[in-house]
Structure 1
Amino acid sequence: MNTDLELTVEVAAPPDTIFRAMSDWERQSEWIFGTTVKVVEGDGKSVGSEIDAVTFGVSDRMRITRWDPPHAVEVLHLGKVVKGTGVFAVRGSRFVWSESLDVPFFYPVVKPLFVLMLRRSLQRFARFAEGYR
C-alpha cells in the first residue's frame, strides 16, 4: 500500500538556519517525538551517507540521495517497515516534510495518530530552528 504525505510549518528563521537545524540529525530527538537519530555511514551531510531514525523502537534507516543546502535533503528509506522516499525541504521561511511511502497494512489504523504526532513535531521544530545555534 502506498501513501503520500506532505506537511509544512512556518519558521521565523533564515533558510540556511532552517536547513542546518533540519539536517542536524543527532538533535532531531529534541523535536521529533519518541525518536533518536544517528549517522551510521558517511558524514550525514553528503549523498550516500546513511542515518538511522529509531521511533518508538522501530528503525527507519535512510540513505541520502540528494544533498542541496540550503534547499533540500532527499532520502531513500531502506527499512523493513518503512520503505519509500522522503524530502526535507526549505521553501523560503517554510519547512516542508514530504514522504512517498510503501506502508504496512495497518497504516490506515495508525495514520491519524502518526499525522498528529508529526504535526506537533513540526511545531516543535519551528521553535527549535528559531533558536538554533
Structure 2
Amino acid sequence: MVVTVSTAISATPQRIWDLLTDWENQGEWMREATDFEVVSAQRSGAGTIVATTVRIGGIATRDRIRVDGWQPPIGSNPAHLGIVHLGWVKGRGDIRLTNQSDGRIRLDWTERLQPPLGLPGALGMRLFAPLFARTFRRDLTLLQTLAERG
C-alpha cells in the first residue's frame, strides 16, 4: 500500500526539519503514535533507531524505525528524511521538503507499507487505506500548524 500526502507550509525548512527530527516530541503532530524513544546510541542521522507505539483503526503495535535517508535543509537545496519500518508492518517512509516559488515549503510524505499476515493482512490494509490517508493528512495539518506558529 502506498499513501502520499502533501502540503505547503509557511515556515523555514529548518523549522520544519527540527519538528520532523525531534523524535520524543513527534506525538505533538503524529497523534496516532505515542511513547517515542530513541533506542540507538546516536540521536540524529542515518542509522538512528526510534521506537514508538502506533495505533490506527483500533489496532496498536510497537514500531521501530531506522533512519536511512538524512539530508537536512541547506540553503535552497531540497531536504529528505527517509525511514525504514522494522516492526510488525514493514515498509518505508520518505519526507521531502522543497522550496516553492511563493516562498512556502512543499512537504511531500510517502509511506510504502507492506502488510503482515500475507493475503489477510493485504486485504485488511486495503480496507484501512482511506483511514491511513486521513490520518497522515491530519498529521500534516498539525505539523503545519506547529511549524507556522513558530
Q: 1:63 aligns with which of 35, 58, 66?
A: 66
Structure 2 counterparts to residues 17-96 of structure 1, below 5 A: 17-36=15-34, 37-56=36-55, 57-70=60-73, 71-80=79-88, 82-92=89-99, 93-96=105-108
Q: Distance in 2 between matches of 1:120 and 1:62?
A: 21
Q: Which runs of 4+ in 1 moved over 6 A?
A: none
TM-score under structure 2 normalisation?
0.79
Match of 1:111 in 2: 129
Gaps of 5+ in 2: 74-78, 100-104, 116-120
2:27, 2:131 → 1: CA distance?
Answer: 18
Equivalent residue number for residue 110 of structure 2: 98
Contact 2:4 2:133 (8 Å CA) reproduced = no
Asked whether the equivalents of residues 3 and 132 of structure 2 are also in contact (C-alpha less than 8 Å), the reply is: no
CA distance, structure 1, for counterparts of residue 133 and residue 52 of structure 2: 17
State whether residues 19 and 72 of structure 1, in contact with CA within 8 Å, keep that contact through their aligned partners in structure 2. no
Q: Which amino acid in structure 2 is aligned with residue 128 of structure 1? A: L
Deviations 1:23-53 (A, max 9, x none): 1111111111231222111333111110113
The 3-state SS of whatever aligns with 2:129 is helix
2:136 aligned with 1:129: no
- Deviations along 1:3-31, whole A, 9 cap, x unmatched? 22211111110111111111111111111
The alignment's C-alpha RMSD in Å is: 1.4
Q: Tell me which structure has the larger Cα radius of gyration.
A: 2
For residue 69 of structure 2, give the secondary structure of its aligned residue in structure 1: strand
Structure 1: distance between partners of 2:94 and 2:48: 15
Aligned to 2:118: none
Distance 2:32 2:82 in 1: 22
Q: How many residues align?
A: 129
Unpaired segments ≥5 residues, structure 1: none
Name the TM-score, length of structure 1 as normaliser: 0.88
- Could you say what secondary structure the match of 1:26 adopts? helix
Identity of aligned residues (%): 29
2:7 to 3, 6, 9: 9
Once residues 49 and 42 of structure 1 are traced to their aligned partners in structure 2, the CA distance between those partners, rounded to angstroms, is 8
